[in-house]
Structure 1
């Protein structure tokens, strides 16, 4: 993203965000095609199972308008999810232009801590001192890495102060550190809230016919009831034990999560195009297409990376839960450091220390989750 905007001079942050998020649309068709090639399952069969799962998850027990109610509730879920997944990214983009990148990174990556608190409040997770300690350790690691300082810059042999590395320096816009820090903090909270609410409302059915089982929604499979949700609710109230559905009654791993992800892409396409003409008319971001195929190719790579990250992230929210997933995403800090070293970049001792704390914190959480499972 930085290379395209700086070196290739394609400074269209909102449009790049828009392209990346509408690319989510391709995930479900690709998954269905892969299942067709692997197992020979007809695409329409999986689509029917997904439709059944949506109705079973979002219909209200005892409602006479069950199907219509389910469609409305599911539509509201996709609308809120689209806004929820867009807000942190947009706030982050705004914050970067107002304050230092180290402050933005440190504040935004505290979302692991807020995710932990919101999980206690909204998901009613049991309080575990070990998990709290791991989340705090990861947050400290982010702060240490962000404020560890940079290596001494290489002296510039070019005496012209307006030229650096062969290109002209643009005059930096006026900054507002306080506003930028506030936006980065709001982005962190918005990201945490999205993760927790996604886990609560979008990763597992609220009216499942299956009891807790290693191959239920938490393990990547979504039970599909063979009877209406109202009947299932009556059976549950009567204390009748529900059988574990056979493999043929379960959706393939991650298919439901990828349905949600693709629909978030559709929501982005239908809603988030609205700011584009406004930004163009006001001059904040004049719309222009890439000027050459090279730039277009790098933009396609950006979209592919964004789709890969968000798809796996949403799958892991259902498998691991928001706490471990949010801390796991902080490992990108360590990966960036390792790539920097491999490419001959300069890395400070503070960066090594901060990334080490993040890695230890993730390891502690992973072991704790494995023991609990």
Structure 2
């Protein structure tokens, strides 16, 4: 059903094994996500936190740009405006209060990332901005790619879509566990990056982080499956404001004051999400009515016969 985007398959396709398609798609989509997410961790030491937050979270724009040719979405100015408002909100958060600590940006998994060190004299800033710019494009491409090659066709029940979204997320995790660990010992032996097993408090924090991100990633894939990559990408921007709110309950020195820019940017992002949700709902409702009108004449013809 997913490979051919058809609900009713002919008999010769029903006998075909889905395993080769699952393997190819899992490798392709997981590599796209890994490269996009890895760019965040490469760029974090090269550029400033403000640039990192602003550029990477422009992936919502690129998700819409890729959705038009790949998913054949119509160019709707209401969606363009909503995405633009969301990006403005991110810019306000990133650059609104110069000299104030910045809040975490979106990480590779789409959730609120770790805090990036603010360094006005960041070395290789242009290179870092280029790296995170490529990552932003690839993350938008990953979202659309998942919708195109790993989501059930239109008309599939929401329950089946949710089940398969988590199934595919598990396949991505399996590929990561079996294959993507290979560079770790190589980097360790070469001395490029030293790795140690986490212990004590660090291990506990990592466990909480893993569980939280697993919950986010599963929900994120379900949202893409049931709605669109554009709405999901803008929804992920809400994590920026949530990180700012969570900072209020952290003890010093992790505590960061809630600035006016964080509040204003958060309000803009929330407004953009509501606007885009409404635009997406109207679009889905129009498609539903159109589909019902196409079926109605066929039913009338059957009754006449």
TM-score by length of structure 1 reads: 0.64
Match of 2:210 in 1: 303
Q: Do the aligned partners of 1:141 and 1:355 also contact (CA within 8 Å) in 2? A: yes
Structure exhibiting the larger radius of gyration computed from Cα positions: 1
1:181 aligns with 2:129: yes
Deviations 1:186-213 (A, max 9, x none): 11111100100100111114xxxxxx65
1:129 aligns with 2:36: no
Q: How does 1:66-145 map to 2 (within 5 A)?
A: 67-68=16-17, 70-145=18-93
Residue 139 (structure 1) shift: 0.8
Deviations 1:328-357 (A, max 9, x none): 100111112222345563233222222211
Residue 255 (structure 1) shift: 1.1
Match of 2:114 in 1: none
Any gaps of 5 or more consecutive residues in structure 1? 1-52, 154-172, 206-211, 223-252
Q: How does 1:1-373 map to 2 (within 5 A)?
A: 67-68=16-17, 70-150=18-98, 175-205=123-153, 213=155, 216-217=156-157, 220-222=158-160, 254-290=162-198, 292-341=199-248, 345-372=256-283, 373=285
Deviations 1:284-319 (A, max 9, x none): 2212112x3322111111111111111110010011
TM-score by length of structure 2 reads: 0.78
Q: 1:55 to 1:369 in 2, by over 3 A?
A: closer
Residue 363 (structure 1) shift: 0.8
Q: 1:370 to 1:296 in 2, by over 3 A?
A: same
Q: 1:61 to 1:190 in 2, by over 3 A?
A: farther
Residue 108 (structure 1) shift: 0.3
Q: 1:345 to 1:174 in 2, by over 3 A?
A: closer
Any gaps of 5 or more consecutive residues in structure 2? 102-120, 286-305
Deviations 1:198-232 (A, max 9, x none): 00111114xxxxxx65xx25xx233xxxxxxxxxx
Q: Do the aligned partners of 1:151 and 1:346 also contact (CA within 8 Å) in 2? A: no
Deviations 1:230-252 (A, max 9, x none): xxxxxxxxxxxxxxxxxxxxxxx
Q: 1:64 to 1:315 in 2, by over 3 A?
A: closer
Matches of 2:124 and 2:10 in 1, distance apart? 51
Matches of 2:194 and 2:100 in 1, distance apart? 36
Q: Do the aligned partners of 2:2 and 2:149 also contact (CA within 8 Å) in 1? A: no
Matches of 1:101 and 1:345 in 2, distance apart? 14
Deviates more, 1:344-353 or 1:82-91: 344-353
